[in-house]
Each structure stands twice: as structure tokens, then as C-alpha cells.
Chain A
Amino acid sequence: NAGVMQNPRHLVRRRGQEARLRCSPMKGHSHVYWYRQLPEEGLKFMVYLQKENIIDESGMPKERFSAEFPKEGPSILRIQQVVRGDSAAYFCASSPGGLEYGYTFGSGTRLTVV
């Protein structure tokens, strides 16, 4: 089992560009969660998705950020018109369904906006 796969591991974007972060959950996991971690800070919830559905996006900024988890393929977190404040580590986690199984985290994508 390959675990939760995130790519790219590192992403550098200039201000105003778009960033696309990908997450493939563990085999058999249908629930995906995205978290953002600013340097030296905690894990802040952004969005919770199941296949083709956004279940909870209460932690995601209303502007410039969007997420999807299509029927086929990985989950995508998209940040449009990036700004310096978007520089952070973005972690994806997956679970088989129900939080009592806990999450498995991916290795994260470290986004740097220059």
C-alpha cells in the first residue's frame, strides 16, 4: 500500500500565478481532508471531500481557493493568484470513512510564493 501520495513535494510560484496540489488517498479510502500548516504553527482544517462531493469547506478561504475530488483521479487543491501569505505546507489526509479510524497523512506539498 503506497500510502497517501501528494505531489509535488515542493512548489515555487510567483505572486499572481496558480498553484495546483494533488493528493491520491490510500487504496480503499474515500474520504480526503486538506490542512494548511504555516511555519511553526499548527494544522488548520481547510476542506473535507468525498468522491465528487464537498462535505465541509468551512476552513477554506472564500476567494482564490477551490478543491475537488473527482470520480476518477486525485483530489486537487487549487489556489489562484497566489500571494506571499499562501506560503505554507499543505497536507492531505485520507480515511476509509468515519473519524474513528483516524487519518493517514501524506508527506505534504511545501508551497513557496516568491
Chain B
Amino acid sequence: GENVEQHPSTLSVQEGDSAVIKCTYSDSASNYFPWYKQELGKRPQLIIDIRSNVGEKKDQRIAVTLNKTAKHFSLHITETQPEDSAVYFCAGTGNMLTFGGGTRLMVKP
């Protein structure tokens, strides 16, 4: 099955700085890579996704890049704000979504 590794596990940045979270996956057949944000005590919510026929996708301050050859994809958040503080999960696809271990992002005001 799919195996997804995510780094770093914690990330602390100053407000206004950029944050980058990286994931690698094992199944070359994976073709859909979503990112979820989970605030404390709440449900994971989809924030952006990318399909395998695209190398990069951007939505306002967040962007995702995909390198299928190297089997890795990354989440980029620019101009971070305190409300970006949360746990972020990447996922790869097999029969179902397989999630990375999560990154706790802390944005210091």
C-alpha cells in the first residue's frame, strides 16, 4: 500500500514569514495529493489539492508543488498569519487516502 512521510513534524515561524512542509510517497500510481488543515479539536478540512498531471497549483497565500519523478510534494504558505497555526496533513492515494504524520505549524505574532 501507499506510504506517506511528512516533514517537519513541528514548524515555528514568525508572522509574515513563509512556511514549507514536505511529503514523500511510495506508490507511483498515486495521482491525487490533497492537503488538510486541522485546528485543535476540529475536523480536518481540505485546503488545496493537486493532481498528477499538474506540477504546481496556487490559491492566494498557499501553493502546492508536485515532483512525480522524485515522488514528493510540498505545501508553501506565504505571509503567514497567526490563524494559520494548526496541524497540516498531506495525503497520497491508493484505495483510500493515506495521510502523513502531520506538521504542527505555529505562527508567532
**DSSP majority for the A interface?**
strand
| Count of residues in A whose CB is under 8 Å from the partner chain | 22
Query: A56 on the interface (CB 8 Å rule)?
Result: yes
Neighbouring A residues of B97 by C-beta, 8 Å: 33, 45, 93, 99, 103
Give min CB distance, B62 to chain A, whole Å. Answer: 15
The docked-state distance in angstroms from the alpha carbon of A107 to that of B49 is 21
Cβ of A99 and Cβ of B93 under 8 Å apart? yes
Main secondary structure of the interface of B (DSSP, over half): strand
Q: How far is the CB of B14 from chain A (nearest CB, A)?
A: 24
Range for the number of chain B residues in contact with chain A: 20 to 34
10 shortest interchain CB distances as A-B pairs: A105-B43, A43-B99, A42-B101, A99-B93, A42-B102, A48-B96, A56-B95, A100-B32, A107-B43, A105-B44
Q: A45-B97, A45-B98, A107-B42 are in contact. List 14 more A-B contacts (CB 8 A).
A: A33-B97, A42-B89, A42-B100, A43-B44, A43-B89, A43-B99, A45-B99, A48-B96, A56-B96, A103-B97, A105-B36, A105-B43, A105-B44, A108-B43
